Structure 1
Amino acid sequence: MTDTTTAAVRPDLLREVEQFLYEEADLLDQWRLHEWLDLFTPGGTYLVPSTDNREGDPNTDLFLVQDDRFLLEHRVNSLQTRAAHAEYPHSRTRRLITNVRVYEDGPGIRVVANFAVYRFRSDAADTYVGQYHHTLERDESGRLRFVVRKSVLDLEALRPHGKVSFIL
């Protein structure tokens, strides 16, 4: 849940965060996963809560994806090989990101945005819809990086999809 009472963010920061999200979406749609991985801080995490507990806590609840940087590197390396049968050949995806909101109300930059990811594979088209809840920070060069990248699905179940074998 987002606190809507937070003060408005500077327009230049909003544009910078939107551009960051659009560039990230392009990297993922092009399967440039090693470049995408560079968007994370060394301690960054990638989270996808279960569809039946969208507000879950990764410390106590089951998540579909709960990767720290080490596991995320393994996921990326695996997805780039033929051994990842669910993604070989790779799915074609197209991501739409809307309603981006940015909050500077504590450590890091909090981002909430809506997403739709269209996935095309094996003569099937699936749509994954949800909301991003990210925490960003600047690295030593001033570039934005993910501390937490969280994709919360609005789907009630993964049917007919069955699983999430690519990066949301």
Structure 2
Amino acid sequence: MTVQELTQTRAAIQPRSRAEFEDFLYWEAALLDQWRLDEWFELFTTDAVYEVPTMGQGLEVQPDSALFYVADDHRRLQHRINRLKKPTAHAEWPRSTGVRMISNVRIDGVDDRGVRVVCAFATYRSKNHITDTYIGHSHYTLAEIDGQIRIRSKRIILGMNSLQPHGKISIIL
């Protein structure tokens, strides 16, 4: 991003600061860590998407032309949350514990959908004496709706060579 683009981006999102977006991401992580999935879901706009492409894919790939681990619109995301809360979700019942670490939060630009925010993450999931680690970058488009920051899109780009040894993504990253 050039200095001029950065200046235009800052002007477009005023009075929101990077710190406000960062606090919002910390709040999102806390909700997931505490398994407050319904409250987490409320952070999304009704046209939101939550996506996790397979390893080696980037931001340009689309779910209609490539394999994704997760490609949820608002409705499918609600179903995912409802399923995770049930005892029949065997991978998460009893539910695992998790900790999400977020760092290197930066504003990456602005477009007609909202402010693009990127951060690095490490998510630790622990269950049955096994801890799984997921690392990567989260790419968000955040919009202001009724004075509140909301997630319009969240795409997880995993920074791993494989899902080994755990072999699955049973939690929300």
Which amino acid in the other structure matches residue 68 of structure 1?
D
TM-score of the superposed pair, with normalisation by structure 2: 0.90
Shift, 1:60, TM fit: 1.2
TM-score of the superposed pair, with normalisation by structure 1: 0.92
Unaligned runs of 5+ in 2: none
Residues 6-155 of structure 1: pairs in structure 2 closer than 5 A:
6-7=5-6, 9=10, 12-55=16-59, 56-107=61-112, 108-139=114-145, 141-155=146-160
Unaligned runs of 5+ in 1: none
Which amino acid in the other structure matches residue 30 of structure 2?
D
Give aligned pairs, total.
Answer: 165
Shift, 1:12, TM fit: 4.7
Which amino acid in the other structure matches residue 41 of structure 1?
T
The CA RMSD measured in Å over matched residues stands at 1.6
Shift, 1:132, TM fit: 0.5
Sequence identity percentage: 44
Shift, 1:11, TM fit: 8.5
Shift, 1:32, TM fit: 0.3
Runs of 4+ aligned residues of structure 1 deviating over 4 Å after TM superposition are: none
Give the direction of change, closer, same or farther, for the CA distance of 1:129–1:4 in structure 2 (3 Å limit).
farther
2:163 equivalent to 1:163: no
